[in-house]
Amino acid sequence: MRALRKTEPGPGLTLTEVPEPACGPWDVKIRVLRAGICGTDLHILGWDDSAEAMCDTVPFTPGHEFYGEVVEAGSEVPDARIGDRVSGEGHVVCGVCRNCRAGRKQMCIRTRSVGVQRDGAFAEYVVIPHLNVWVHEHDSRTEVITPELGALFDPFGNAVHTALKFPLVGEDVLITGAGPIGLMAAAVARHAGARYVAITDVHEHRLEMARAGGVDLALNVATTTMTQAQRELGMKEGFDVGLEISGQASALQEMISNMNHGGRIALLGLPARHFELDWTTVITHMLTLQGIYGREMYETWNAMSAMISTSPLLRERVLATVSDVVPASQWESAYEIARSGRGGKVLLDWETIG
């Protein structure tokens, strides 16, 4: 099969031929139809500090946001059938550590991530444990999940996990980073009953996407400060909830200085380098900083499936984050679009590779 591989430590990827993966008795083999490029994949392409820290085995196949069709199920698999259309939970957990046994699988101390520490979905086929397969049920209230929407379930899960970490009803929410996950998080915050939803970025077209998605304020922080955003919204105090999605040092630093006392910040963005924080403000303003990694297993999946099936507007806003679907053979141009920030979510088409 064809696969996009990290063949050695260092920048770059290679589209090459590799054997199809074997399907074990508890595994499911999936024909990949669409796979999304995310921030983690950009780190892996550039091989920065974050990538070196995360990726402990080279060579490997990246890619963890995907939608596909089950083509083989192991002999012990009870709940996935050939022909099922599925997405995949990218965190493979041990099942026996304290957190796993307590039902907190997303905090497993031995997590191995699809497309990071094991072969992923930038390929014609991927194999994952059957417990990681999310079968898309057909619901009379919603249309069939399209390949594009199905490929968004991983990043949409990140957005749902981040946005719903703290109560949002009636709260003023600041989101830093209007990339695909930031846009989805804004849609979730609006759906969940936030009073004001403000989002920041430096790319004007992404801010336009945010405005079209119903935020109260989309702010270009290259020219305007977050403090000015509060004035524009008529806020007398700081933001109640912050969702840091960008991974930029300046974004988190300015967010901290614009939170209300007792404010809560959910951190999803991966920084490319170490940086300092104003810990005096964090302490004296009694702020809560909560790291977010992936999705809650599997409450987030249940929540996002329910929201997608019951809210056509939310489904529309999530799907609107896709700006480009590119044949997998043209992966370099797809990565360039994703890296440049001039588009939204970029998907690789493995169904018609090109």
List of domains in the chain: 2-152+321-349 (3.90.180.10), 159-291 (3.40.50.720)
pLDDT of residue 44: 95
User: Which runs of E-coded beta strand occur in the chain?
Assistant: 2-5, 14-17, 27-37, 65-73, 85-88, 91-92, 112-113, 125-129, 133-135, 172-176, 196-201, 217-220, 239-244, 259-267, 288-291, 322-327, 345-349
User: Under 8 Å CB-to-CB from 279, ≥6 apart: which residues?
Assistant: none
Q: For each of the chain's 354 residues, which pLDDT tens digit applies?
A: 999 999 999 999 999 999 999 999 999 999 999 999 998 899 999 998 889 989 999 999 999 999 999 999 999 999 999 999 999 999 999 999 999 999 999 999 999 999 999 999 999 999 999 999 999 976 555 457 899 999 999 999 999 999 999 999 999 999 999 999 999 999 999 999 999 999 999 999 999 999 999 999 999 999 998 888 888 899 999 999 999 999 999 999 999 999 999 999 999 998 878 899 999 999 999 999 999 998 999 999 999 999 999 999 999 999 999 999 999 999 999 999 999 878 899 999 999 887
34-80 residue pLDDT tens: 999 998 899 999 998 889 989 999 999 999 999 999 999 999 999 99
Q: Which residues contact 45 (CB under 8 A, 6 or more apart)?
A: 11, 12, 13, 335, 339
Which tens digits make up the pLDDT trace of 279-290?
999 999 999 999
What residue type is assigned to position 150 of the chain? G
Contacts (Cβ under 8 Å, ≥6 apart) of 213: 183, 186, 187, 317, 320
Catalytic residues: 40, 43
Six-digit token pair at 188? 């979730």
Is pTM, for the whole model, over 0.75?
A: yes
- Its sign, for the CA torsion 151, 158, 259, 225, is negative
The predicted structure's pLDDT at residue 271: 84
- Per-residue pLDDT at 353: 86
